Chains A and B, each alone.
Chain A
Amino acid sequence: MSEMTNMSAFEIAESVNNQTVTATSVVEKSLALAEALNSKLNAFLAIDREGALRAAAKVDSIIASGGSPGRLAGVPIALKDNMCKVGLPTTCGSRILQGWIPPYDATVTKLLESEGAIIVGKTNLDEFAMGSSTENSAYGPTLNPVDLTRVPGGSSGGSASSVAAGIVPVALGSDTGGSIRQPASLCGVVGVKPTYGRVSRYGLVAFASSLDQIGPFSSSVMDSALTLEVIAGFDLKDSTSYDEQMGSLSAQKGLSVEGLRVGMVTEFVEGSDLEVVSALRDAANALTSLGADVVEISIPETKLGLSAYYLIAPAEASSNLARFDGVRFGLRVEGSNIEETNVLTRTKGFGAEVKRRIMLGTYALSSGYYDAYYAKAQQVRTLIKSGFERAYQQVDVLISPVSPTTAFKLGEKSLDPLAMYLSDVCTIPSNLAGHPAMSMPYALDSKGLPIGVQILAPALREDLMFRLAFALEGSSTGAPSLDDSIKEAINRG
């Protein structure tokens, strides 16, 4: 593997600012890897060689003229393909948006670029972020670089896979029910879902508006801290974005966790595989040895999360996805009138999982069912919030498994939607409560597959969450070994 691609975002930005390397050389390397590996991983739906090199040259010229391009100078970054960047297609992994080029930038795109980051491409995802395996993409599944027979998790599988394979040090994903944390866990990288409202959703194609949140993937905890510091903040274009400043995350590195009260969530442990649970216990022991007080804690309300989520998310999605009607953008299958055109377009443009959720959500909102389903599920959110509140009176942070299993085989769960939905059981409650949570790669199972540990914190306490993550990083088994054919391709390139 080349030296440069081993560099963290933190190191790249430092080296570019110091003129030890040029942004162009870093980006060139990242593009070359992306191009070399994409035929195997299908992690990218678009690689923007021209635009990335142009942006890198601009960063280099700013440096040359004595300027300072920013905190992420020259850092190659991949965006999940549900975030807008002018000039690049945004497909959401769907046929219905094939070729759609947004005329505006997402707020995160602007923020990253304003700090000198280079967007190298757009990554694959489950169609409209609906899935837990990145198999539901109209453009084919993304594979897990650790084992090409396995899924990378989802829905941000392309971003997780591209970071795990070393193509980019940082990628952005979106997390509605675990779509950043679960693939991070399955690919062995760090993945962060910030507090709802911490990062602007403007320019993120909505799946479920009250749950969606953008966050980073990276190999190191520091890179996620750095990236989140750049993208977090109030945005006048997002009425639900939070206006209070986030404390420094990178400053949490090296801070002691002594005396920190850590709760291990019983309900999330119960349904998880033995190896996953044992990795979590190892992490707990490591924290204990660092001086933290680890206790088991029960939050029974979280058991209701899955049901609530699979009513709320589809309901909001059914409405958010109505606009894909063939009138203003994207696919149109023209019929003899507009009503028929809507039906033909949507029937052809959406995949099975998206249709399933649109119908589930339409049903949950329809007259006669609203109170029993949607309204009830929103009340359950209140229950889950109060469950967490109770827990946070006793402990400062929580830990749990991210996913009950390690990466599963392609096709293994695609015929049983409910089984697939169950892989989000540990991650969903944080979305419902709006709390931050992240996945830390911690151990490997007997097959060498990565196992993540989830760290959960109260709303707006990303600082505490990162302090624990930095502390755990020291005892983590580190990056998994990549699939042989990936290693080979990297060496050849």
Chain B
Amino acid sequence: MSSRISPKEVAHVAMLARLSLTDEEAELYASQLSSVLDHASDIESLDIHDLEVTAHPLGLVNRTRSDSVVSGLSQAEALSQAPDEAQGMFSVPPVLGEPS
């Protein structure tokens, strides 16, 4: 079994994705992800760096809407599914750090 991705890397990726894993899970995911990445070695080895990418199958461009106000949700509707609210706002536990 190749290990293209180590349990340590899996743990780092989980941190970026805001997931927590047990050590056993990290091991398991490392081996499963490695086998998927192994399969992907067929495209990794292709020499196609000058080729265009296809991000949009149909090649549409310049899609815009006009700058006119459309009514959205009321405050009550916006908050109706909130796990917690206060003073018309979404309430969450304190934020540790500033965004980068």
**Which residues from chain A sit less than 8 Å from chain B, CB to CB?**
100-101, 103-104, 195-197, 210, 236, 239-240, 242, 303-304, 306-308, 310-311, 318, 322, 325-332, 334-344, 346-347, 350, 355-356, 358-360, 362-363, 366, 372-373, 375-383, 385, 417-418, 421, 432-435, 459
Quick check: A363 and B9 within 8 Å, CB to CB?
yes
A322 to B14, CA, bound (A): 12
Q: Known contacts being A196-B57, A337-B93, is A325 close to B18, with CB within 8 Å?
A: yes
Quick check: B81 and A360 within 8 Å, CB to CB?
no
A318 to B63, CA, bound (A): 25
- From B17, B20, B65, B92, A338 is in contact (CB under 8 Å) with B92
**Distance between B33 CB and nearest chain A CB, rounded to angstroms:** 5
Chain B contacts of A332 at CB under 8 A? 83-84
- From B10, B13, B81, A103 is in contact (CB under 8 Å) with B81
A195 to B94, CA, bound (A): 45
Q: Known contacts being A356-B29, A359-B33, A366-B13, is A373 close to B53, with CB within 8 Å?
A: no
Q: Known contacts being A343-B19, A362-B17, A383-B51, is A306 close to B46, with CB within 8 Å?
A: no
Q: List 10 A-B contacts (CB under 8 A).
A: A197-B60, A240-B56, A311-B43, A318-B17, A330-B81, A338-B92, A338-B95, A359-B14, A360-B36, A379-B51
Q: Known contacts being A197-B57, A347-B20, is A336 close to B93, with CB within 8 Å?
A: yes
A337 to B73, CA, bound (A): 28
**Distance between B54 CB and nearest chain A CB, rounded to angstroms:** 4
Complex: chain B residue closest to A379, CB-CB: B51
Complex: chain A residue closest to B83, CB-CB: A332
Quick check: A363 and B42 within 8 Å, CB to CB?
no
- From A197, A337, A360, A375, B96 is in contact (CB under 8 Å) with A337
Q: Known contacts being A242-B60, A341-B93, A381-B54, is A103 close to B18, with CB within 8 Å?
A: no
Determine the main DSSP class of B at the interface with A. loop
A343 to B5, CA, bound (A): 22
Chain A contacts of B19 at CB under 8 A? 343, 346-347, 350, 355, 358-359
Query: Which chain B residues numbered 34 to 83 have a C-beta less than 8 Å away from chain A?
Result: 35-37, 39-44, 46, 48-49, 51-58, 60, 63, 65, 73, 77-78, 80-83
Q: Known contacts being A197-B57, A338-B96, A362-B17, is A304 close to B52, with CB within 8 Å?
A: no
A347 to B18, CA, bound (A): 8
- Whether B32 sits at the interface, judged by CB under 8 Å, is yes
Quick check: B57 and A459 within 8 Å, CB to CB?
yes
| Residue from B17, B53, B73, B83 having most chain A Cβ neighbours under 10 A | B17
With contacts A100-B81, A359-B10, A379-B53 known, what are 11 further pairs, Cβ within 8 A?
A: A210-B56, A322-B18, A327-B92, A337-B95, A343-B20, A359-B17, A362-B16, A363-B13, A377-B40, A434-B58, A459-B57
Q: Could you tell me how many residues of chain B have their Cβ less than 8 Å away from some Cβ of chain A?
A: 51
Chain A contacts of B33 at CB under 8 A? 356, 359-360, 363
Quick check: B48 and A376 within 8 Å, CB to CB?
yes
Quick check: A358 and B43 within 8 Å, CB to CB?
no
A198 to B35, CA, bound (A): 35
Quick check: A380 and B36 within 8 Å, CB to CB?
no
Chain A contacts of B65 at CB under 8 A? 236
**Distance between A434 CB and nearest chain B CB, rounded to angstroms:** 2
Chain B contacts of A327 at CB under 8 A? 83, 90, 92
A240 to B83, CA, bound (A): 32
The 8 A-B pairs with the shortest beta carbon distances in the complex, nearest first, are: A434-B57, A332-B83, A378-B53, A381-B54, A329-B81, A307-B40, A239-B63, A342-B18
A402 to B82, CA, bound (A): 42
Q: Known contacts being A343-B19, A356-B29, A373-B40, is A338 close to B94, with CB within 8 Å?
A: yes
A318 to B65, CA, bound (A): 28
Quick check: B52 and A382 within 8 Å, CB to CB?
yes
Chain B contacts of A242 at CB under 8 A? 58, 60
- From B13, B14, B44, B78, A376 is in contact (CB under 8 Å) with B44
**Distance between A413 CB and nearest chain B CB, rounded to angstroms:** 13
- From B17, B46, B52, B81, A328 is in contact (CB under 8 Å) with B81
A360 to B13, CA, bound (A): 8
A346 to B19, CA, bound (A): 6
Q: Known contacts being A328-B81, A359-B10, A381-B53, is A195 close to B58, with CB within 8 Å?
A: yes
Quick check: B42 and A326 within 8 Å, CB to CB?
no
Chain A contacts of B44 at CB under 8 A? 372-373, 376
A191 to B40, CA, bound (A): 29
Chain A contacts of B9 at CB under 8 A? 363
- From A326, A336, A362, B83 is in contact (CB under 8 Å) with A326
A373 to B40, CA, bound (A): 8
- From B10, B42, B51, B57, A210 is in contact (CB under 8 Å) with B57
Complex: chain A residue closest to B82, CB-CB: A328
Quick check: A337 and B94 within 8 Å, CB to CB?
yes
Chain A contacts of B29 at CB under 8 A? 355-356, 359
Quick check: B92 and A101 within 8 Å, CB to CB?
no
Chain A contacts of B56 at CB under 8 A? 210, 240, 434
